[in-house]
Structure 1
Amino acid sequence: MRALVRSLALVATLASLPALAANGPDPKLKALVDGSQRSAEFKARDAARKPLEALSWAGVKQGQTVVELWPSGGYWTEILAPYEVGTGKYIAAVGSKNPTSDRGKEALAKFTSKLQNLNDKAEVVEFNKDVEQIVAPGTADVVFNGRNLHNWMGGGYAEKAMQLAFSALKPGGILILEDHRADTKKPQDPKAENGYVREDYAIALATKAGFKFSKKSELYKNPRDTKDYEKGVWTLPPTFVLKDVDKAKYEAIGESDCFLLVFVKPKK
């Protein structure tokens, strides 16, 4: 009888494995998160940014057209660009394709060189307050934004940014929105000068543009973040704007408390 029970238990366990695998992360995505194409600097931030969990939860898949807004140094690009090789399309929407400063030119050259190595079919387009579209309307499956909403608020075009994202997406497409989460007990600074954005403020912006709120994750919840630093969120890692002043204190806090939201462009 005991042997029979053990056999039945083993059969049940084996039978459940395909279902568990099917519900787990895409093996290709996991391989890219762990892959050698990623810089050691960015991998060091994975404990805070949790790329495999975030992208899997949000619903990013192979075969999609993914537009990343303001990829900066390419933390997410190192994963998203090669993920869509062969089956989908990756588009980087940079602030300007013709920066005027030497620093801007150097940063863009470094990014485009990296992107070419990651995905030689990837495209680079512009996204700023003056553009009227990011990509052809209704052509993207995913618009991804990692911690940039506060910048667009500072520039006075956050509403336009949401409208452009809405236009870029196909009906049923998703907007993934991540940013530093502000204290809900304080009114939202419309310029977000400290880098923090109230979650309800972000939801209202996206909803006003036509999006339907889909879901939220507490993957980036950090109760140690007091959100009251004189130099704003950049006091915390990885920026450490105060350099070595109380660095151990801010290292112990870690990266900021962030929201992670998904919105859907309605099909009708």
Structure 2
Amino acid sequence: MRTFHNRHHATVVGATATAVLALASTACGGEGIGTKAADSADSSVAAAAAVGSSWSTGSVKTSDAVQNTGTTNAVTVNAGSAKAAGGNANSDSDAYPHPCEMQKLSVHVARRAGAPTQRVIKVRNVGVNTCGLSYYPRVSLGNSKSADHSHDVRPLIPSGLGGAPAYPVRAGHTAYAVIDLNPSGATTGTVPKIDEMNVLADGDHMPNANTLNFPLGTGTKVLKPKLGLYRNTIADAVSSMTQADTQS
């Protein structure tokens, strides 16, 4: 398992991708290449911006019992045409040899309604073909002002991983992963000064430069966090998270 030690902004690359970025009033203004999540209320944040993208205000709808607040950065990508006739562009088996590309994903983080210590990571395939993700996103928790992230907190994950070579995400569909920052609800003994969650959608294939940084807000209590595997519903992602027992 590779360990992420440095914070990076994600960058959308590729001449075939065009993007329209909706900039939240709280986002880092003036950044034309890549974005950093910047909403202390934990609203959803899109994966990345593109070179030459246009800027306007906008918001993301809430769904699946995920609670979002405020406006967000949003990305729309023109991912090109589907496979040639005769190919199967939207089957699970097609995902295995085709890892997801960052410029064809949107990544959002939101509080889970009714569960204040939990966050839902939503990775949507905005391309036209099925692609494959690692079993779970690579996540670390740290301090946004720290220059040394070698001691960032990494969550537990479920043990006994195996099976298909990738988690398939069909075009237009979303993969969900849930992290509980403080499963015990502890108010003392928590890790101090944690205010940021770093998310890499696919830790098996993507470079660290595709890692996104999502603010958690000051005073966030983190202790022995648990992260589940990607699932196609939030309920199943929560169930997976409760089984986390191995250090990521």
Which structure dedicates a bigger proportion of its chain to strand? Answer: 2
TM-score bracket for the superposition, by shorter chain length = under 0.3
TM-score of the pair, normalised by structure 1? 0.27
Larger Rg: 1
Which structure dedicates a bigger proportion of its chain to helix? Answer: 1
TM-score of the pair, normalised by structure 2? 0.28
Bigger relative contact order (CA 8 A; separation at least 6): 2
